[in-house]
A and B are shown apart, each in its own frame.
Chain A
Amino acid sequence: MTTPPTLEVRNLRTHFFTRAGVVKAVDDVSFTVDRGKVLGLVGESGSGKSVTGFSIIGLVDPPGRIVEGQILFQGRDLTKLSEEEMRDLRGNRIAMIFQDPMMTLNPVLRIDTQMIETVLAHQKVSREEARQRARDALGQVGIPSPDERLKAYPHQFSGGMRQRVAIAIALLHKPDLIIADEPTTALDVTIQGQILAEAQKLCAESGTALIWITHDLSVVAGLADDIAVMYAGKVVEEGPVAEVLDAPLHPYTLGLIGSVPSRNRRGEPLRQIPGMTPSLLNLPAGCAFRSRCPRAEPRCAEPPPMAEYRPGRFARCIHPHLEEVAAA
């Protein structure tokens, strides 16, 4: 018997039932992350990346609800678990790191309080031992004199240091899956580089699976094994990161790559994707990218299915770039 992948999301739909109507924030999302692998989840703002992350860890708040799909974590469907069982997994087997390090730590509680409570939530150990664990975790993410820093409050740390603390908290129980929701967006480039390197090392060493949410393709290029591109609540392209970035199938992916500055194209104007992200409240029937797509044709008014155009290369488009397009 083969061991199941760490995470397999199947046809996930998470909708928000607001007064203005149903917001289909996540609408048919599937992907797989294996042990020790990194999946880059990319897409524009509002494409549903965070909601996907919160769906996995079971923290979608009303009026939002998972309406369909399976989230198989080591073979277990998380959508079927009770709140109690989910709480056992959260922060223990599945951890999450948030985008804004200035907001993730509670301003009125000391770092040690916030770390020790996480240890004690999942393990019956003495306070002293929990403190020991917290200190070790701080050292592990490169915080100098962790003993002293444990007694500090969040505002006494810089943004980069706070994000390290949040990462240390996520690592406390050596989770099997970490969902990192744009954890380096708010940080400057050097610190971003350090954190990325550490994340990579961690996954390789401990077999932790990592979902790295970002809208920055250059981050994904260096870090991820696979990439899933989201647009308006759907995954529109998925595949190994090098192949996708080299020869994207979906016109939206191509547009995303074109809007990233690159050394090879220095001097050329950056290509912009024309138009705006459509409102999730009333998406047009058929391909949601239609109004902005240069390759659109009448057939695109039918919803395009996700199809495997090359081995391991999936795209949700009826007219993908199968001819050799040089993306770079």
Chain B
Amino acid sequence: MTVFLLRRLLQAIGVVFAMSVLVFIGVYAIGDPVEILISPDADQIERERAIEALGLNLPLWRQYLVFLGNALQGDLGRSFVFNEPALQLILQRMPATLELAFGAMFIAILLGLPLGLYAGLRPNSIGSKVIMAGSILGFSLPTFWVGLMLIMVFAVQLGWLPSTGRGETVEVLGMRWSFLTWNGLQHLLMPAFNLALFKISLVIRLTRAGVRETVLMDYVKFARAKGLSPSRVTFVHVFKNILIPVVTVVGLELGSTIAFSVVTESVFAWPGMGKLIIDSINVLDRPVIVAYLMMIVLMFITINLIVDVTYSVLDPRVRLESKA
């Protein structure tokens, strides 16, 4: 296991390095922040002083080396706009996005697994046809539209749930969290459900396909031939096998949920990283964009690693190979 982890860590460092080059070049290519940041009335001398202060006069590779050197010391640059460390800006907004994403995944599993299990065990029942039709809607309706509809119905018409913001927060571990207060939880529910919609459909389909495949396996028939109760066959023999693909995909989806919570955050004015990145792109706040992208890369790598480890805990066959 240690060797396995070490190897994965080395791979991760390589990936981060490669991504830093790509991200840096990519962001450099999207426009000239000077035009946006420096007032058009500024004279030539002022302009040059500003350009120098921002380090924009250096050639690209020098800028990259400066960035890399600072990054290795945990400094991803200062925001041009807020004049604050970019990393700090992002970290401040991270809890909001994290709780939104985790909330969404939680809802997706809570609803998706049982619905998928039911649809897989009784593929011809009316209930399962309704579930499958619903999952197609979940896949195809645009997130922002569903978000607006949710606000219309539950916030405007019924007035049950608040439509914007995080509500009350509590500080734990130096970060502010909404899900620990009743009011915050109410604020979280609708955006999390909105973000979860696509994932619920995904989990339902994945679970159903897994169940349909697994119930045909000889080992399930053998389990029945041993005289086990139907619930033991379903919840131990079938369930443990479908958990492997579901955990993998759900885990990998967590990264994209965090990365692309942008839409939901915009609709519900949820003050997370997604909203910050949209604002930063609008004003070409390069350090923030680069820092954000690097954070996302790191997050994907970490999530993949956690998924691999979980996977090996669930699947004894993988565990053995990684030991060797």
Taking beta carbons and an 8 Å cutoff, which residues of A are in contact with B? 57, 59, 87-92, 95-96, 98, 100, 103-110, 114, 117-118, 121-122, 153, 155-156, 166, 169
Contact = CB atoms under 8 A, between A and B. Distances in A.
A90 B226 CA distance: 6
Contacts of B222: 96, 98, 104-105, 166
- Measured as residues with beta carbon below 8 angstroms from the partner, the interface class of chain B is 20 to 34
B225 A109 contact: no
A102 to B, nearest CB: 9
Given A98-B221, A103-B218, A108 B316 contact: yes
B240 A108 contact: yes
| Cβ-closest 3 pairs across A and B | A91-B227, A91-B226, A103-B218
B217 interface: yes
A153 B227 contact: no
B319 to A, nearest CB: 9
B225 A121 contact: no
Given A59-B225, A153-B320, 18 more contacts: A87-B229, A89-B227, A90-B224, A90-B225, A91-B226, A91-B228, A96-B225, A106-B219, A107-B241, A108-B241, A109-B237, A110-B316, A118-B226, A118-B227, A118-B228, A121-B226, A121-B229, A121-B232
B320 A59 contact: no
A91 B241 CA distance: 22
B227 A108 contact: no
B223 A106 contact: yes
A92 B225 contact: no
B314 interface: yes
Nearest to A108: B240
Contacts of A121: 226-229, 232
Contacts of B227: 87-92, 118, 121-122
Contacts of A156: 320
Nearest to A155: B317
Interface in B202-229: 217-229
B285 to A, nearest CB: 48
27 contacts: A59-B225, A90-B225, A90-B227, A91-B225, A95-B225, A95-B226, A96-B225, A98-B218, A98-B221, A98-B222, A104-B218, A105-B219, A106-B223, A107-B241, A107-B317, A108-B241, A108-B244, A108-B314, A108-B315, A110-B316, A117-B226, A117-B236, A118-B226, A118-B227, A121-B228, A155-B317, A169-B226
B222 to A, nearest CB: 5
A70 to B, nearest CB: 21
Contact of B228 (A89, A108, A110, A117): A117
Nearest to A95: B225
B108 to A, nearest CB: 23
A98 B199 CA distance: 39
Contacts of A166: 222
Contacts of A155: 316-317, 320
Nearest to B232: A117
Contacts of A104: 218-219, 222
Nearest to A101: B218
B219 A107 contact: yes
Given A88-B227, A89-B227, A90-B225, A103 B219 contact: yes
A303 B125 CA distance: 41
A109 B240 contact: yes
A114 B219 CA distance: 10
B225 A57 contact: yes
B111 to A, nearest CB: 24
B218 A59 contact: no
A89 B222 CA distance: 14
